[in-house]
């Protein structure tokens, strides 16, 4: 009798599980998924103290090329939707300065350029944001850039010295780009 009760319970449970509500799974939902993360990175950091600027005299005091490989990977170059490059310039020197950032292709042709004329200290920190893609500059500029040239020019004198502690010019840059992963 005990065996019959256990068999009845087992058969009943199996029957109820068979009849239970279970929605059929749709594994095609992945095709409708769209992922667009934002990737952020620093691009370069430039700093020069007032003594170095004075030692170079008036005119050019700095030129440096930086390798830019962000878009060398085809996955990134093909899937970038848009982005922003942010520049931040801080000058605590007694010099009026011009800083120029050039985006260069493999043959050193200038694809894009951004120039900053900075007054002598005291000045507020200058921030500039440049948009690429969607209503901004062409993304092809960044896709074809292999080097970034940063150059600095002293538009002031070569003798004055700031009374501030450690006077210098600082240029920071960072980027945020939106990618389409699917």
Q: State the residue for tokens 């292709």.
A: 105
* Under 8 Å between Cβ of 126 and 116: yes
The confidence score (pLDDT) of residue 16 equals 64
What local confidence, expressed as pLDDT, does residue 33 receive?
A: 60
Give the model confidence (pLDDT) of 103-159 as tens digits. 999 999 999 999 999 999 878 899 999 999 988 999 999 999 999 999 999 999 999
- Neighbouring residues of 95: CB distance < 8 A, sequence distance ≥ 6: 50, 53, 120, 154, 155, 156, 157, 160, 169
Identify the pLDDT of residue 36: 81
**pLDDT at position 20, please?**
64
Residue 30 has a CB neighbour count (10 Å cut-off) of 8
Place of tokens 């040239």: 149
- The CA distance from 28 to 31, in Å, is 6
Who wins on pLDDT, 131 or 72? 131
This prediction's pTM: 0.78
Q: How far is CA 11 from CA 1, 20, 35, 37, 132, in A?
A: 15, 14, 47, 51, 66
Q: Closest Cα to residue 173, out of 49, 53, 70, 80?
A: 70
**Considering Cα of 73, then 77, then 81, then 87, what sign does the dihedral take?**
positive
Per residue in 95-108, pLDDT tens? 999 999 999 999 99
Domain 49-179 has CATH 2.60.120: yes
What are the residue boundaries of the structural domains of the chain, listed by start? Answer: 49-179
Answer with the residue of higher pLDDT: 114 or 7.
114
């Amino acid at each position: 009798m005990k065996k019959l009760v256990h068999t009845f319970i087992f058969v009943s449970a199996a029957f109820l599980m068979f009849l239970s509500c279970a929605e059929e799974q749709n594994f095609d939902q992945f095709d409708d998924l769209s992922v667009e993360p934002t990737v952020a990175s620093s691009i370069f950091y430039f700093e020069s103290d007032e003594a170095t600027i004075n030692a170079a005299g008036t005119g050019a005091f700095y030129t440096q090329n930086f390798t830019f490989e962000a878009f060398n990977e085809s996955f990134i170059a093909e899937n970038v939707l848009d982005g922003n490059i942010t520049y931040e310039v801080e000058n605590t020197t007694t010099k009026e300065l011009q800083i120029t950032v050039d985006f260069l292709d493999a043959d050193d042709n200038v694809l894009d350029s951004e120039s900053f004329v900075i007054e002598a200290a005291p000045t507020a920190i200058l921030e500039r944001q440049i948009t690429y893609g969607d209503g901004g500059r062409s993304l092809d500029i960044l896709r074809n850039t292999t080097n970034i040239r940063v150059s600095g020019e002293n538009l002031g004198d070569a003798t004055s010295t700031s009374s501030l502690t450690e006077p210098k010019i600082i240029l920071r840059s960072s980027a945020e780009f939106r990618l389409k992963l699917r």
